[in-house]
A and B are shown apart, each in its own frame.
Chain A
Amino acid sequence: MQALARWLAILGGVVLIAASVLTVVSGLSRWWTSQPVRGDVELVSVAAGIAVMAAMPWGTARGSHIMVDSFTGWLPASVTGFIDRFWRFIWIQAFALLAWRMALGAQEAIRNGEQTMGLLGVPYGYAVAFGAFCFGLSALLSFKDSQ
């Protein structure tokens, strides 16, 4: 599961690099031919969305969500450990809820044929489904952590 999260994070980074290359190519193309790559703005937006979603499980697995421990520093480690497991337990619910709702959102987007606003009209339903998957994986990783 951790390995899958790492793999997704790398995939997200590669998508970002691809978006950078596309942006540069589009800029050059606009310089020379006065026409950018068709739909560059919506492609970069979709790429950013995918990269952020793909980063979620890894960020969760690494426990990188920022929290504040200055008020609980005096507590024994066993107590703070218990509190942290409790919040991971809440993360499970939050991620699971997001995964469930986004799965429904993806289903509707695919059924309605919803597309981005640009000329390409990228059908983003599958990207929403990918987001639901990433949130689901984040829930599972939080679950594993809270054990």
Chain B
Amino acid sequence: MAPEFLTAAWGFAALLLLIALRCPIALAMLVVGAAGYVHILDHWALLNYLKQSPWHLFANYTLSVIPLFILMGALAERGGLARDLFTAAQVLVGRRPGGMPMGVIAASAAFGAVCGSSVATTATFARAALPELLRTGTAPGFATATIAAGGTLGILIPPSVILVVYAISTEQNIAKLFMAAAIPGLIATVFYLIAVWLTARLRPELSPPAPALSPTERSAALRAVLPVLGIALLVVGGIYGGVFTPTESAAVGCVLVLALGLARRTLPWPEIRAALLATAETTAMIFAILLGAEVFNAFLALSQAPDLLAVWVTEQNFPPYGVMVALLVTYLILGAVMDELAMILLTLPVFFPVITALDFGLPTEELAIWFGMLVLVVVGVGLTAPPIGLNVFVVSAIARQVPISATYRGVLPFLAMDLLRLALVLAFPSLSLILVRWLT
């Protein structure tokens, strides 16, 4: 085995060990990356490398879309926009068995069309909808699982932070990736609705129908949701239509959500302050991981192992679909035990060149888009799959009275639907590509 592979393998082993030993992921990547950097070069190189690297990483126009979308989601949540969506959903579907959880899925999908983060979407509905679900009689584990699964729509439906990171690490077009994700995102929503419907059908005691609203309440709820839908349409349509850059659309979204909240007096200063603090918390978490990944990736590049691995895999003459399935299974396993953002940041430099070197009968750009959609599906699975499902953790952090094992049991029907969707997206690349082909 080449010494490069050995160095990188030790690095990965150390990383996984540290993560298993409760080391925060950002710290683990930073420490292992730094140690590897020093091992290959020397400590002066590392010390000098650190002088301005965090600044140039953080002060980046493209990445600025991440804190902006998080801020927009936090403001929307604090300003009651998420609740508006939920109430509207209650009006439309609340009277049927499973209607309320289905309403949460629909509202998560609508919110996902504005917000690019699954953590933000999950947190939003855990705060806004969970009390309503429990109040109207939905079983606790089913309610938390619905919110955790619905939260993945935050990234499955564009805009999506994961797709932004995918586009940046693979030098793909963000707008086209967002466009491509529309149909798989819609399928995800429909499948989750089916999962809820089936569960409610088989075990009606889990989700009795919600109390009826008066006609006045109904029309008020439907009126209240219009501005939110308008903002969603403007932000997403602006990106699709090429009127805004993603950063601009996030900025427009922030300003409009803030303005709407101020106009309706639902965003007094304490609420804004809470939104800003929530934004800071999520932003710090994500960028600490990005910083750790930057150092770890520099170490991997220095070891030259990723290039060699990519060359090695392409020389094995596996059939293309064999390689693809192997990579996706790897992702499902990695996604179950680690953070998804870190997972794709770590593995894309290795896997992406491997995939683009294979022949699936698609032009390189379409192949990259299709692979991005597949990565998005497995990332979504990893967000709710035990043992490490970030969305489940987020719900649990807010719904402390519901045991985490109950939530994990509740997500199983949703995971089954995810695997079905993965098979569909894999078998029919055109599901991911047809919109891009039409619209460009």
Q: Please list the residues of chain A having a beta carbon within 8 angstroms of any beta carbon in chain B.
A: 6, 9-10, 12-14, 16-17, 19-24, 27, 41-42, 44-56, 58-60, 62, 64-72, 80, 83-84, 87, 90-91, 94, 97-98, 101-102, 104-105, 108-109, 116, 124, 127-128, 131, 135
| Cβ of B52 under 8 Å from chain A | yes
- Neighbouring B residues of A90 by C-beta, 8 Å: 23, 27, 31
B52 touches A102 (CB 8 A): yes
In the complex formed, the residue of A with least CB distance to B290 is: A52
**Cβ contacts under 8 Å, B287 to chain A:** 52, 55-56
Interface residues of B in 240-295 (CB under 8 A from A): 244, 247-248, 250-252, 254-255, 258, 273, 275-277, 279-285, 287-289
User: Is A59 within 8 A of B288, CB to CB?
Assistant: yes
Determine the distance from Cα of A52 to Cα of B21 in the docked complex, in whole angstroms.
Answer: 27
Complex formed: what's the CA distance from A135 to B288 in Å?
11
- Contacts A94-B27, A128-B52; A16 near B20 (Cβ below 8 A): no
The B1-46 residues at the A interface (CB cut-off 8 A) are 19-27, 30-31
* Other-chain contact of B51, A47, A51, A108 (Cβ < 8 Å): A108
Pair B285/A49 contact, Cβ less than 8 Å: no
Q: Is the CB of B280 within 8 A of A13?
A: yes
A49 to B: closest C-beta gap in Å: 3
The residues of A that contact B51 with a CB separation of less than 8 Å are 101-102, 104-105, 108
Q: In whole angstroms, what is the CA distance A65 to B387 when docked? A: 18
Interface presence of B186 (CB below 8 A)? no
- CB pair B59–A48 under 8 Å, yes or no, is yes
Residue A10 contacts which of B48, B64, B276 (CB distance < 8 angstroms)?
A: B276
A19 to B61, CA, bound (A): 11
Contact A87 B251, CB 8 Å, known A16-B68, A19-B64:
no
Flag if B27 contacts A10 (CB, 8 Å): no
Question: With A60-B284, A128-B52 in contact, do A48 and B279 touch (Cβ < 8 Å)?
Answer: no
Which of A49, A72, A98 contacts B20 (CB under 8 A)? A72
User: Which residues of chain B are within 8 angstroms of A24 by Cβ–Cβ distance?
Assistant: 248, 251-252, 255
B388 within 8 A of partner (CB):
yes
A12: chain B residues within 8 A (beta carbon) = 276, 280, 283
Q: Are B251 and A23 in contact (CB under 8 A)?
A: yes
Give 14 pairs: A residue, B residue, CB < 8 Å, sorted on A. Answer: A9-B281, A13-B280, A20-B68, A45-B64, A51-B67, A58-B277, A59-B280, A66-B24, A67-B25, A72-B20, A80-B22, A90-B31, A98-B54, A124-B59
Bound complex: CA A47 to CA B71 (Å): 14
With A65-B288, A127-B59 given, name 14 new contacts (CB 8 A): A13-B275, A16-B254, A19-B64, A19-B251, A27-B252, A48-B58, A48-B60, A48-B61, A48-B63, A48-B67, A55-B284, A68-B337, A72-B20, A124-B59
C-alpha spacing A50/B58, complex, angstroms: 8
Residue B339 interfacial (CB < 8 Å)? yes
Interface residues of B in 138-157 (CB under 8 A from A): none
Name the residue among B250, B285, B288 with the largest chain A CB count within 10 angstroms: B288
> When the two chains form their complex, are residues A87 and B55 in contact, meaning their CB atoms are under 8 A apart?
no
Q: How far is the CA of A58 from the CA of B281 in the complex (A)?
A: 6
B58 partner, pick from A27, A53, A84, beta carbons under 8 A: A53
B423 CB contacts on chain A under 8 angstroms: none
| Contacting pair A102 B54 (CB below 8 A) | yes
Q: Is the CB of A131 within 8 A of B55?
A: yes
Partner of B280, one of A9, A65, A124, A131: A9
Residue B47, interface by CB 8 Å: yes
CA of A19 to CA of B276, assembled, Å: 14
A52 touches B285 (CB 8 A): no
B167-224: which have CB < 8 Å to A? none
- Known contacts A13-B275, A48-B63, A84-B22; A56/B52 CB under 8 A: no
Pick the 10 closest A-B CB pairs, nearest first: A59-B284, A49-B59, A13-B276, A105-B51, A48-B64, A9-B280, A70-B387, A23-B251, A55-B280, A20-B251
B338 part of interface (Cβ distance < 8 Å):
yes
Q: For B285, give its contact among A10, A65, A70 (CB under 8 Å).
A: A65
Complex contact A68–B30 (CB within 8 A): no
Known: A17-B71, A68-B338, A127-B55. A59 touches B258 (CB 8 A): no
In the complex, chain B residues whose CB is within 8 Å of the CB of A67: 19, 22-25
CB–CB A20/B284 < 8 A: no
Contact B55 A66 (CB under 8 A): no
CB nearest neighbor in A for B388: A68
> Closest CB of chain B to A30's CB: distance in Å?
10
